[in-house]
Structure 1
Amino acid sequence: MKKLILCFAAACSTWMVSAQVKTNVKHSGNPIFPGWYADPEGVVFNKQYWVYPTFSAPYEQQVFFDAFSSPDLVHWTKHPHIMDTTGVKWAKKAIWAPAIVEKDRKYYLFFGANDIQSDQETGGIGVAVASKPEGPYKDLLGKPLVGKFYNKAQPIDQYVFQDADKQYYLIYGGWRHCNIAKLKGDFTGFIPFPDGQTFHEITPDHYVEGPCMFLKDGKYYFMWSEGGWTGPDYSVAYAIGDSPAGPFKRIGKILQPDPAIANGAGHHSVIHLAKENKWYIIYHRRPLTETAGNSRETCIEELHFDENGRILPVKLTKEGVPAHRIQ
């Protein structure tokens, strides 16, 4: 009995210490949640932070998405298998880089699948829909939204941008080419541009993949990843334009590996809290202890601008960002 009481007391003591440590956490830490995850899409739904990443593993194992939610950037809840190949019959492997938007009380998850290498293969960019941020997500079209190569852009790494006039655009592309297209309001297809073309190429210098766009002070900030995703030179650069279609002239890199912190920092997204004018960049990186291509973890830093609106270089940290609840 004495031994049992001592064990119970030790267990209670351990629980209280753990609870106290968790309660006193002031920063997110990096990575923000455990596991190998990449290509994170960060967004805010209902005053909660959400991150939708790629499950970083061999292509044949990439058959689902997990999602993570947090009230404060510190405490994260995992939502496993919000979408998988049972809900998207044509997707077989390499499910990548989710992008998500909320519209009319539904959530639309855009994704790449199958890593197609030619127009003769089935795959590309798909859309799934759910009634809650955590899913489950089901295929909207029963086929890819973009299933072929246009302007030499591989149909992967999709990002959905909503302009000030509420028009949604799909921005995507691998293989060093990037396209933009106007989405229909129900996300089932596209609206041609005035010249009759559906896909306009907006590829800036040194573009590789992973596009992202946001609007700030009337200017369009276009960001992308450069270098090789498995190498140490992966990084993020940007340009500023006067319309979603550019033209975009490369300004320079703002996120790069740090030999003291991590390699392969890239493929990101941006969260803007408009009421507080706070900006965050969510990205993946490879720990210095790892060399495998899929050993990637999801991290977060604050994003800052100078007086001219240029993005300041982002410093990689182990601490991440301070805890913050959305007002």
Structure 2
Amino acid sequence: MKRVLYFLLIFCFKTIAQTTVSGQAINNNPIFKGWYADPEAIIFDKTYWVYPTFSAPYEDQVFMDAFSSKDLTHWKKHPRVLDTSAVKWAKKALWAPSIIKNKNKYFLFFGANDIQNDNEPGGIGVAVASKPEGPYKDYLGKPLVDKFYNGAQPIDQFVFKDKDGQFYLIYGGWRHCNIAKLKPDFTGFVPFEDKTVFKEITPENYVEGPFMFIKDNKYYFMWSEGGWTGPDYCVAYAIADSPMGPFKRIGKILEQDNKIATGAGHHSVIKTPDSDAYYIVYHRRPLTETNGNSRETCIEEMHFDENSFIKPVVITKEGVKPHLIK
């Protein structure tokens, strides 16, 4: 019995030693197991949520999982919060979910089918649920955006809520990015004053993966550059006074470290409501992997300099310290 207790104590000691050093979590990246990419992170009711793409061949991308955490270090998997059985027009390539709460409902925007022209079925869809973990059902019965406008492939959607309560859809692949004003019920769009619906806000070097947040009344617009299967994949940003821009590229803030991982990109950002802590959640490819779909979801702290520019993010194996929202 003493011997069993001895080995249990040794095991527990090793586990603790592997988990923390001086309060710092170690080897906490990736934040959960499995191949996942394009993570969108958000906070609902003092709980962190991450909604990623299931990283696999397009024909196998027929569902989406979600993950929740109270402290950023222990994650619970919520399998198949959305799958193509709930979206009859979606057949493959469920990509880059964007989640937002509106009037006590949770709306999950997603890309599907990887359409290559206006004659193929697919594009950007919307699903709805009464809980963050779903299950999500098709909201419109058809895509919200199913055509190429301003050259933008209808993928990589991000829903942005402005200070005045207006919701915007920001999206686009193929090196073009559009912004459009969503109707309050998300059933369509409200034209701008000049009667156009989709306005292009593409900055220099933009490829895909747009994200926007507000800090100090400035609009930080971020995107991914390079090829998603290559080592040059990275994140850059710009700052403007309006969600419409104009956005002049400032520079890269997230990229690979050939001692840690390659292809770091397609990210999202969260700020804790009880502090000034910002976190960037992104995907990257382990050094041991050559398959383009072998991508894992990771998290790092994101900092600003005295002029409110984003400092380059250092990618790590350690990840972040636990942070419970008070």
- Give TM-score, length-normalised by structure 1: 0.94
- Alpha carbons of structure 1 residues 114 and 16: separation in structure 2 relative to 1, 3 Å: same
Compute the displacement of 1:273 (Å): 1.4
The match for 1:109 is 108
Which residue identity does 2:272 align to in structure 1? L
Compute the displacement of 1:46 (Å): 1.0
The match for 1:27 is 25
Which residue identity does 1:182 align to in structure 2? K
Rounded to whole Å, the distance in 2 between the matches of 1:253 and 1:174 is 19
1:17 aligns with 2:12: yes
Compute the displacement of 1:19 (Å): 10
CA RMSD of aligned residues (A): 2.0
Kindly provide the CA deviation profile for residues 259-298 of structure 1, in whole angstroms up to 9, marking residues without a partner as x.
Answer: 1111000000000113301100000000111111000000
Superposed, 1:1-327 pairs within 5 Å as 9=4, 13=8, 17=12, 21=16, 25=20, 26-27=24-25, 29-327=28-326
Compute the displacement of 1:14 (Å): 8.6
Secondary structure at 1:186's aligned position in 2? coil
Compute the displacement of 1:22 (Å): 9.5
Rounded to whole Å, the distance in 2 between the matches of 1:47 and 1:19 is 31
Compute the displacement of 1:20 (Å): 5.8
Secondary structure at 1:121's aligned position in 2? coil
Rounded to whole Å, the distance in 1 between the matches of 2:274 and 2:162 is 18
User: Gapped runs of 5+ residues in structure 1?
Assistant: none
- Alpha carbons of structure 1 residues 92 and 304: separation in structure 2 relative to 1, 3 Å: same
Secondary structure at 1:270's aligned position in 2? strand
- Alpha carbons of structure 1 residues 37 and 137: separation in structure 2 relative to 1, 3 Å: same
Compute the displacement of 1:27 (Å): 2.0
Percent of aligned positions that are identical: 69
Rounded to whole Å, the distance in 2 between the matches of 1:183 and 1:22 is 49
User: Gapped runs of 5+ residues in structure 2?
Assistant: none
Rounded to whole Å, the distance in 1 between the matches of 2:193 and 2:10 is 63
Secondary structure at 2:16's aligned position in 1? helix
Which residue identity does 1:61 align to in structure 2? D
- Alpha carbons of structure 1 residues 135 and 19: separation in structure 2 relative to 1, 3 Å: farther
Which residue identity does 1:27 align to in structure 2? A
Secondary structure at 1:187's aligned position in 2? coil
- Give TM-score, length-normalised by structure 2: 0.95
CA contact 2:42–2:270 (8 Å) conserved in 1: yes
Rounded to whole Å, the distance in 2 between the matches of 1:24 and 1:316 is 18
CA contact 2:19–2:25 (8 Å) conserved in 1: no
